[in-house]
Structure 1
Amino acid sequence: MQKNKKLFLLLFGIFMLIILYVSYDISKRTTFPGSKGNLKERISSEVESEKK
């Protein structure tokens, strides 16, 4: 039983490291929604820049 418990803890630790890495990676690739400003203003400025 002791061997099974050690194996479970090892697999759990590896799983948690993978989940933490994926969470960190996703958080670095995205921005906080509140830091983007007003959506309507952003869309209109993008449309105007494409027309030029």
Structure 2
Amino acid sequence: MSKNKKIFLVLFVLFMLIMLWIGYDISQRTTFPGSKGNLKERISTEVETEKK
């Protein structure tokens, strides 16, 4: 394997690891839209539980 191919392979692996890390980070900070239900009801129940 030539030196250029090794450098390209290392950069590709680093790029993919960074992209996977970013994707994982984003997925942990957000929720699936279908699991939210009715947003107005969620907000009102969250406010009520905070007051108790």
Shorter-chain TM-score bucket reads: 0.7 to 0.9
Question: Any stretches of 5+ residues in structure 1 without a counterpart?
Answer: none
Letter in structure 1 aligned against 2:17: L
Q: CA offsets per residue over residues 13-39 of structure 1, 9 Å max, x none?
A: 000000000000000110011111113
**Distance in 2 of aligned mates of 1:4 and 1:31:** 42
Q: Aligned residue pairs: how many? A: 48
How far the C-alpha of 1:9 sits from its partner, in A, is 0.3
Off by >4 Å, runs of 4+ in structure 1:
none
What TM-score does the superposition give when structure 1 sets the normalisation length? 0.73
What does residue 35 of structure 2 align with? 35
What TM-score does the superposition give when structure 2 sets the normalisation length? 0.73
Letter in structure 1 aligned against 2:22: V
Matched, 1:10 2:17: no
**Distance in 2 of aligned mates of 1:28 and 1:39:** 20
RMSD: 2.2
**Overall identity of the aligned pairs, in %:** 72
